A and B are shown apart, each in its own frame.
Chain A
Amino acid sequence: MTVTILAFGIAKDIFGASSIDIELPADALASDLKLLLEDKYPRLKQIRSYLLAVNNEYANDDLVLDSRDEIAVIPPVSGG
């Protein structure tokens, strides 16, 4: 399945785009996507930390992804 990943802050700089498409096996977990992203964009491993958000909620590593999910990479936040 193809999923679209939204990127913000430093993640947008690392991807060079505000969204990217990634090919994932069916029933992939959030942790699988993280490994794939880190493999494709090694600079992700150099930032302090990052989380995935799925459908506007922070996602645990064991969450099963669906092609209809809205997925975003959330680097360390710094609002306020």
Chain B
Amino acid sequence: MNTYIHISPTPLNIQSCIDLVMSPSCGGIDVFIGTVRDATKGKQVLRLEFEAYEKMAVSEMQKLADRAMQQWPVQKVVIHHRTGVLQVGEVPVVIAVAAAHRDAAFEACRFLIDTLKQTVPIWKKEVFEDGEVWVSATP
């Protein structure tokens, strides 16, 4: 198995994502770690709340991993996403890509996080001191 997709309400293990893609035939691993930022447009964020349409999100993430494997000479792909309430500094997403050579790993990793943000049915709510807002939902 060369792709590993997972959605979890518990903290993500970054090292285990790296271990999953580690391979003797790969010369490089590219890792993207998303972290909860403490502010949006200058406004302090208290926490984020992530919600997923889990079955479809897993299937969309699998499609992305398969596309990355087809488009670039990469050997292993991990996409792990967290759900639930996350505090500032916690990790909502980890993507790891292993390839024989680094160009493919960098490009595929960038494609995966950029496209995940556009197509995978997961939503985040930003909670501020004076209210909360579903990110990207309103014009």
Q: Which residues of A pack against B, CB within 8 Å?
A: 6, 8-10, 12-13, 46-48, 53, 56-57, 72, 74-80
Contacts and interface: CB of A to CB of B under 8 A. Distances in A.
12 contacts: A8-B52, A13-B134, A53-B53, A74-B53, A75-B134, A77-B122, A78-B117, A78-B123, A79-B52, A79-B81, A79-B117, A80-B93
A8 B53 CA distance: 7
* Contact size range, B: 20 to 34
Contacts of B120: 77, 79
Interface in B84-134: 92-93, 113, 116-125, 134
Contacts of B92: 79-80
Given A56-B56, A79-B50, A80-B93, A47 B138 contact: yes
Contacts, number: 81
A78 B136 contact: yes
Contacts of A79: 50, 52, 57, 81, 92-93, 116-117, 120-124
B59 interface: yes
A55 B53 CA distance: 12
A44 B135 CA distance: 15
Contacts of B125: 9
Given A9-B123, A53-B53, A75 B93 contact: no
Nearest to B133: A10
Nearest to B113: A80
